[in-house]
Amino acid sequence: MQNKKQEWQRVGIFFLLSYAIAYIPEITLGWKMGDYENWTDPDMLGWFLFVTFSPAIAVVLTRYITKEGWKDSLLHINLKGNLKYYMLSVFFLIAFELPRGITANLMAGEPPFAGFTVPKFFGILLMTAGMSIPLAFINFGEELGWRGYLYPKLEKLIGVPGTVIIGGIVWGLWHAPLTVKGHNFGTDYPGFPYLGLVLMSLFCISTGTFLMWLTKKTNSVYPASIAHSINNNSAGAVAYSLASEKIEEDTIDLFQHSAITMGYMLILAVVFTILILKDSKKQKTPAES
Task: Compare residues 48 and 113 and give the one whose CB is closer to other proteins.
Answer: 48
Q: How far is the CB of 3 from other proteins (least distance, A)?
A: 29
Half-sphere exposure of 120 (CA within 13 A, CB side): 13
Q: How far is the CB of 187 from other proteins (least distance, A)?
A: 22
The backbone torsions φ and ψ at residue 77, rounded to the nearest 5 degrees and listed phi first, read -75, -40
Terminal Cα distance for the chain, rounded: 25
Q: What does the per-residue mask of binding to other proteins show for 217-256, with x meaning CB under 8 A?
A: ----------------------------------------
Q: Closest by alpha carbon to 152, among 215, 65, 59? A: 215
Rounded distance between C-alpha atoms, residue 171 and residue 147, angstroms: 10
Give the residue, chosen from 131, 173, 262, 277, that forms a contact with other proteins under the rule CB under 8 A: 131
Q: What does the per-residue mask of binding to other proteins show for 256-285, with x meaning CB under 8 A?
A: ------------------------------
Q: What does the per-residue mask of binding to other proteins show for 16-45, with x meaning CB under 8 A?
A: ------------------------x-xx-x
The answer to whether 127 contacts other proteins (rule: CB under 8 A) is yes
Burial of 80 (0-12, 13-18, 19+ CB in 10 A): exposed
Give the residue, chosen from 57, 124, 178, 227, that forms a contact with other proteins under the rule CB under 8 A: 124
Task: Compare residues 119 and 286 and give the one whose CB is closer to other proteins.
Answer: 119
Rounded distance between C-alpha atoms, residue 36 and residue 33, angstroms: 8
Q: Which stretch binds other proteins (CB under 8 A): 10-18, 62-70, 121-129, 157-165?
A: 121-129
DSSP string, 122-140: HHHHHHHHHHHTGGGHHHH
Mention every residue, 6+ apart, whose C-beta is less than 8 A from residue 65: 13
Q: Which stretch binds other proteins (CB under 8 A): 46-54, 150-158, 162-170, 274-282?
A: 46-54
